[in-house]
Amino acid sequence: MKDFAEAAGAVSVLAVSEGKLVGFCVVQMEQQVGYVVTLDVATTWRRQGLARRLMAEVEAKSRAEGGVEMALHVYAENFGAIQFYESIGYGRVGSAEAFYGHGLDALIYAKRFES
């Protein structure tokens, strides 16, 4: 993850509590689209709005860098993540067979920023 976070075009947001990393989100900017490489929240911090705040911050940073849209892949059977992304305005735009390996399909989601 460090390589992704430090790559050219990366937008990264960290959440730290009492000196410990409790969440992070890494986005790769490609032209005007921010691609969510990863979003991770420590188990004890889940369901407290941290993922929502991390996504809002990377979206704002992506917009500030000229981004007009965000995109991501999510494991097709990760129903909690799918529900989360849909709740923050992402819509399904496609699918990718075997994206995570044989028999592990992904759904592709995107969110266009409003002008």
Cα of 1 vs its chain's centroid, Å: 13
Which amino acid makes up residue 103? G
Domains and CATH numbers, the chain: 2-112 (3.40.630.30)
Q: Tens of pLDDT along the chain (115 residues)?
A: 555 556 666 789 999 999 999 999 999 999 899 999 999 999 999 999 999 999 999 999 999 999 999 999 999 999 999 999 999 999 999 999 999 999 999 999 999 998 7
| Stretch (H or E) spanning 23 | strand 20-30
Q: What global pTM score does this model have?
A: 0.89
Q: In the numeric block, which tokens belong to residue 106?
A: 């992904």
Rounded CA separation 81/83 (Å): 5
- Report the DSSP pairing between strands 10-17 and 20-30: antiparallel
pLDDT of residue 10: 78
**73: Cβ contacts below 8 Å, ≥ 6 apart:** 96, 99, 106, 107, 108, 109
pLDDT of residue 97: 95
Rounded CA separation 50/28 (Å): 20
